[in-house]
Chains A and B, each alone.
Chain A
Amino acid sequence: MAEGHDPLERRLSREDLLRVAAAVGGAGLLAGRAGIADAARTQLLKESGRLKVLDWAGYENDGGQPMFAAYVKAHPKNKPQFSYMTNEADALAKIRAGLKPDLFRPYVGWVKYFATSGLVQPWDPKLISNFKYLNKFMVKAGQYNGKQYGIPDDWGLDAILYRSDKVKPKQRSWNLLWDERYKGKIAWFDDPVENLTIAGLYQGFKNPWDQTDAELQKSKNLLISKKHLVRLIWSSETELDNAFASGDIWIALAWPNDWVQMKKKKLKVVYMHPKEKPIAWVGMFMLLKGTQRFHLAHAYVDAWSSTKSGTWLEDNYGYGHANTRARPTSSDLLRALQLTNPQAVTLPYAHLDRDVPRRATYAKLWDEVKSS
């Protein structure tokens, strides 16, 4: 203690100092936020042209579906212009071949691949006002090396849809997809990782997304040996829904929306979660590196992330939405997707889809199954 200084005086001085610091900090913070908002607004005005979105068919509509109506209203001169991806590999091929969308939507299993590909850049969550409402677990799944490469939006499960008036499963298992009793009434989904992963889950492999060579051979052989039971390997939901509705198919690997659509058609259907657990997917908006419409892309994703958009998506598409405040009208859907459970996409409820280190190998083996 320095001589001649009153301890009380010193304490008061510290308090005063803290007050001053708080006042200055708060003002600075406010000024900083206002500054950021102003800067963002300025940047938005500078950006021109229509926002180029590479997305799945069904999420388009240049006039603005309710999912992004707020964006279109705010930026009528920069309405989204869509091109289509049939899957992530298709998106990758298109971007590699020269297509330059501002943003696109792969699913969670591809976040690491794209983040390390040099094709995308991280988002700035501060520019997305609805970011704070997004499911924290899904937000984390969109990160790579601490940066937010994917903004989660729609999500759902891959599980088994079946006609309860025609099919009586012996057990709640993925093996319903190759039940001999229903030969010619089964549909698989045309995805290399999905099918080999399901085969891996069924056989109890340690990491179905990164199987060893021997495990992959076993999974491939299982699928080849069961393929004769399968009538259709679907690649579009319309194709599956038509085949299911017409009675050509009774059992299918399907998405929640297919269950919603079949219920609308008054079919007796069950969306079964197998005991090995369903696979959960989360759509992730990704931002192309070097985009000329950086702030517009953020505004578009912000519109998609709102509670209103999420509720509309759940009501009309039968998918979940990452916005935790969004709730569907249908209590059936609420239960089926466990929308009140923030961890519905991970164990013990489901396996969250993830990076596949040897994706090319999986694709090659799946081709062998299809051509067998």
Chain B
Amino acid sequence: MPIAIVACYSFNVYSINPGPHSFTLAAWHDFLHSAQYLALFWKSVKMALTVSTIIVLLAYPLAYYIALSGTKRKYILLLLLLAPFLTSYLLRVLAWKVILGNQGVVNTFLVWTGLRSANHPISQLLYSRFAVLLVLGYVWLPFVALPIFVSLESLDRRLLEAATDLGASRWYAFRRITLPLSIPGVIAAFLFVFIPTLGEFITPSLVGGTSGYMYGNQIVDLFETGFPDWETGSVLALFLLGVVAVLTLVFARFLRAPQLKAT
């Protein structure tokens, strides 16, 4: 129902402005012919792709270690990994401002070690695209590690034992057995971070500065910052929803566990 209402706004069937209004595709037409919105969307796609890829690459070895190293403390490690979820999202993002600012933990440490002078801190740490990447990565890391951990944890260990018995090296067994069987978890993890970061607006507004302005921020602005333009804002929101739905459908076919081919 809410999506239908948003759709009605996008076609001007509903309007926040008083007076007569009727069905029109004007906002959709403007959106599809707007270099501004599409460029912003592409910027967000690139940001989300970068964050998702880096985080998956970082989280995989972490999940691998916890799931397959045979450590008795794996659930304690898993709990530690999930511990940030015990605090609020906003607080986790704001904490990074304390760490990355000119007088933050990182710069203070660099000044203390003599690597930087107090008058020349590394300003690019905060209010930059780097800050957005870093904070988004931190925020979504547990979301990524968890599905990979689950897929690795449920791996049939007998397959690895059989590979070892048949003379396969650990790397060969990883390439031919572990990795293919954990791919559904990796794809799920990728989607878990890609979808929310694509429409993210809180982190960019808090740590992104002028270069961190994203598609999600544009939607928020259209609804409430400059002058309410719910028609265009609804179009942007629906377009985002459509892209996410298509991506989910495309990736869903990869979420089933693959059959291993005998060689």
* Chain A interface residues toward B at CB < 8 A: 86-87, 89-90, 92-93, 96-97, 117-118, 184, 190, 192, 227-228, 230-233, 235, 239, 242-243, 246-248, 359-360, 362-364, 366-368, 370-371
Contact = CB atoms under 8 A, between A and B. Distances in A.
Contacts of B223: 93
B105 interface: no
Interface string B99-124: 00111100000000000000001010
Contacts, number: 88
Interface string B222-243: 1111111110000000000000
B235 to A, nearest CB: 14
Given A246-B101, A248-B123, A359 B205 contact: no
Given A97-B16, A247-B102, A89 B227 contact: yes
Given A96-B16, A367-B36, A371-B36, A231 B123 contact: yes
Contacts of B37: 371
A370 B221 contact: yes
Contacts of A368: 36
B210 A90 contact: no
Majority secondary structure of chain A interface residues (helix, strand, loop or mixed): helix
A194 to B, nearest CB: 11
B228 A370 contact: no
Given A231-B210, A371-B39, A93 B123 contact: no
Contacts of A89: 224-228
Q: Pick the 6 closest A-B CB pairs, nearest first.
A: A363-B226, A363-B227, A192-B226, A93-B228, A90-B224, A96-B16
B205 A92 contact: no
Contacts of A233: 209-210
Given A367-B222, A370-B221, A371-B213, A246 B229 contact: no
B218 interface: yes
A93 B224 contact: yes
Given A118-B18, A367-B36, A231 B209 contact: yes
B123 A360 contact: no
19 contacts: A86-B225, A87-B225, A89-B226, A90-B225, A93-B230, A96-B17, A97-B16, A117-B18, A192-B225, A192-B226, A227-B210, A231-B210, A232-B210, A246-B103, A247-B103, A248-B102, A248-B123, A248-B127, A371-B39
B51 interface: no
A367 B18 contact: no
Given A363-B227, A367-B36, A370-B221, A93 B16 contact: yes
Given A184-B123, A371-B218, 20 more contacts: A86-B224, A87-B225, A96-B17, A227-B210, A232-B127, A232-B209, A246-B101, A248-B101, A248-B123, A248-B127, A360-B229, A362-B227, A363-B225, A363-B227, A364-B229, A366-B226, A367-B222, A370-B213, A371-B37, A371-B39
B102 A367 contact: no
Contacts of B222: 367
B242 to A, nearest CB: 20
Contacts of B127: 231-232, 243, 248
Contacts of B40: 371
Given A232-B127, A246-B103, A363 B229 contact: yes
Contacts of A242: 97
A241 to B, nearest CB: 13
Contacts of A370: 210, 213, 217-218, 221
Most buried by B among A89, A230, A368: A89
Interface of B: 16-18, 36-37, 39-40, 97, 101-104, 121, 123, 126-127, 205-206, 209-210, 213, 217-218, 221-230
Nearest to B232: A364
A230 B18 CA distance: 38
Contacts of B228: 89, 92-93, 96
A186 to B, nearest CB: 10
A230 B104 CA distance: 20
A147 B240 CA distance: 46
Nearest to A359: B227
A286 B84 CA distance: 44
B201 to A, nearest CB: 12
Given A248-B102, A248-B123, A371-B40, A364 B226 contact: yes
Contacts of A228: 210
Contacts of A359: 227
A171 B129 CA distance: 33
A295 B230 CA distance: 34
A86 B223 CA distance: 12
A279 B105 CA distance: 38
B19 to A, nearest CB: 10
Contacts of A87: 224-225
A73 to B, nearest CB: 35
Nearest to B118: A247
Contacts of B121: 247
A285 B223 CA distance: 23
